Amino acid sequence: MVGKWIPLESNPDLFNLWSEKMGLNLFDYRFHDIYGMDEELLSLVPRPVEAVLFLFRLTEENERLSREEEVEEEGGRLIWFKQLIGNACGTIALLHSILNSKASSSILPGSPLEKLLEESKLLKDGQARGELLCGSEALEKVHQEIARLGEKEEEEDVDLHFVCFVRGGEEGDLIYLLDGRRKGPLLVVRSKEGGDPTKKGFLEETIDFVRKRYMEINPDEINFNLIALVGGQSS
């Protein structure tokens, strides 16, 4: 790790402020709380959902399973960043969600996000992209400014970690987990329902995976939080 930042709080209002300062048009896309995992509460999340950010505690069981799961070293067309900065997982998850979804079309010209997107496209792998983030003064400034608005202490060592889920594949029928601590993107769901909005969709299938992969193996753990990046009529 190259240095350590103040950890971001899992808060959609702070995520929206981060996004606005970095150059996302919030009239088109914004972050929204996921209040619970049952059908009624999921129905309160505006659609379409473009990405899901997930915060969880790093447990021994989670770490063991992560070592066994195979990632895609290149990740196809996805823009994946290796995390090289301590406590930067929140910002990396935000970048993963915006740059790998339709929200990328609403990045403002000349903004820090546009600069990172264009420079990232030219780099060959996640390690190089992670090094790019280390050299971005604009990114560090925005991260630290937003992190100080949260309730965490500046010197706090945290065992909580952010990851991001996005669509992939030619038909958008694949769901990938993007985690800067891994070696690349991880394919977690091959959607059986494809893009049919009347069937179980991206959000519901992501929630199913989170429940089985993280919650069921840590039944006594309560430190979980989910936030959606939403667009369209939701904005």
Positions marked catalytic: 89, 161
Number of Cβ within 10 Å of residue 222's Cβ equals 7
- Work out the burial of residue 72: count CB atoms within 10 Å of its CB; fewer than 13 is exposed, 13-18 middle, 19 or more buried: middle
Closest CA to 72 of 119, 132, 125: 125
Instruction: Evaluate the CA torsion angle 5, 133, 107, 232 in order and state its sign.
Output: negative
